[in-house]
Amino acid sequence: MNMKSNFRVLKGGLAESPSIGNKEFKSAYVTDTRLMGVLSVGITWTLDGSGSDREFHQFFYMDVEEYGLENYKYVLGTDMDHYEDVQREMIGGLGARTVEISLREAMWLLQKYARIALTRGYKLPDGQSDYEFLLSPKIILSDPEMYILDNKQCKSVSTPYEAINYFVMRGFAKDFDAAAVLSTSPKVVDIFPDMPAGTLCKNTIEEIPDTNKFLCESLVEAKDHYYIAVTEIQMDRLNISGCEKISSFDVTFEEAALALRRDEYVEVYDIDLTQVNVTARSTFLLNKSTAHTEVAGRLFVLYKPDNEHVNTADYRLNDDYYGIYFFTSSGQLITMANSIAEIKLLNQDLIHSPLGEHITLVDQFLFNEPIIYDFIQSGLSDFVSYVDVIRHNDEE
């Protein structure tokens, strides 16, 4: 297969980018997050005629459950800070390990999820002229090649809890190909055909004594509705050998919110933003964050470096992050975590960072129901005043 191809940079891209000619494949990776229903692929090329240090990095994000090939970005050159910023944006929230793959494997993945996107009526990401050469000729993998790729894109499970959580997660998403990776059967049957494809929000696992069976109570969100589904899972070591429906029923939004309710520990700091430039490299935890621009400031979600939250008898979807940093336009830094240990971790992360000398703790709060995202969506920038208004309204 000819590894060289011509392509051009889209207008509106890097202004300083030269016209890119031939390129030679250097390396590629995939994240081991297929069981989470998402994947990221990175491909690096060496450019001919542009100097030995010139490289072209392509980043692709695939949503397995809905959108297929959903996002594409690139970096031209060897600026590692820029490279890491874009890679962080594409995989920072996945709890991922990157695994080396071949160009054939990378092309097979891109072609599969491009087909899924188009079949479901979605457009391919902007910049298609940069990557369209990867979408043909069609790559066909043999069964042994597919087995090898599955082992690269699906992390190995270490306990029955981890296997069961991933299995029911894929099952409720109607992603039976991935569920089959965890099963002794090559074909996984939909045991909840009346439920639409949904997201596993919470899963509680109880071992049935003196058996190799486990009982699961799952809270699932599907098409703006919530369901409780109870299943009995039979294990063969770390593989699912049987799955039986026990019951399923609708629950209200209020009942689901009660089941998912978590404490929120919040600390408010004053920060002199004239003295610091906040980036994803400003603190240790920010290095694994994803950033979002909000009306009143900049939100960073601080993700954990792996998906160990799946390896538990009480899985919760949002246990994959430590907390958040929200830098408001008025000079406040609001931090939030769901436990005292995690809010202390955030505090230490800030104190021992270059930001530490520019922040002053103003107040601390403990809420027994979600509040921080309501504040962020309110467009207000003073959290203490926001809390005072809530207190006043509660007293009336």
For position 8, what pLDDT does the model report? 39
For position 22, what pLDDT does the model report? 79
Q: Is 36 exposed, middle or buried (0-12, 13-18, 19+ CB in 10 A)?
A: buried
Look at residues 193, 224, 259 and tell me which one is the last residue of a structural domain: 259
Query: Which two tokens mark 227?
Result: 């369901």
State phi, psi for 75 to the nearest 5 degrees. -135, 130
- Count of domains for the chain: 3
**Global confidence as pTM:** 0.87
* Residue that has been written with the tokens 């994000």 in this structure: 61
Tens digit of pLDDT for each residue in 368-388? 988 999 999 998 889 999 998
User: Is the CB of residue 26 less than 8 Å from the CB of residue 145?
Assistant: no
Look at residues 152, 186, 210 and tell me which one is the last residue of a structural domain: 152
User: Is the CB of residue 30 less than 8 Å from the CB of residue 153?
Assistant: yes
| Parent domain of 387 | 261-395
d(CA 320, CA 337) in angstroms, rounded, equals 12
Give mean pLDDT, residues 39-59: 83
For position 396, what pLDDT does the model report? 59
Whether residues 128 and 238 fall in one domain: no
Name the pLDDT band for 51 (thresholds 50, 70, 90).
low
Whether residues 220 and 279 fall in one domain: no
3 within some domain:
no
User: Is the CB of residue 268 less than 8 Å from the CB of residue 332?
Assistant: yes
d(CA 122, CA 67) in angstroms, rounded, equals 7
For position 186, what pLDDT does the model report? 86
145 within some domain:
yes
Tens digit of pLDDT for each residue in 311-348? 999 999 999 999 999 999 999 999 999 999 999 999 99
Whether residues 130 and 45 fall in one domain: yes
* Residue that has been written with the tokens 């009942």 in this structure: 255
16 within some domain:
no
Q: Report cis status (omega within 30 of 0) of the bond before 305.
A: no
Whether residues 167 and 188 fall in one domain: yes
3-class DSSP state of 340 = helix
Look at residues 86, 120, 152 and tell me which one is the last residue of a structural domain: 152
Whether residues 148 and 214 fall in one domain: no
- Does residue 5 have a pLDDT over 60? no
Give the helix/strand (H/E) hosting 215: strand 213-222
Tens digit of pLDDT for each residue in 86-126? 888 888 777 789 999 999 999 999 999 999 999 999 999 99
- Find the range with the poorest average confidence among 171-180, 295-304, 354-363, 386-395: 386-395
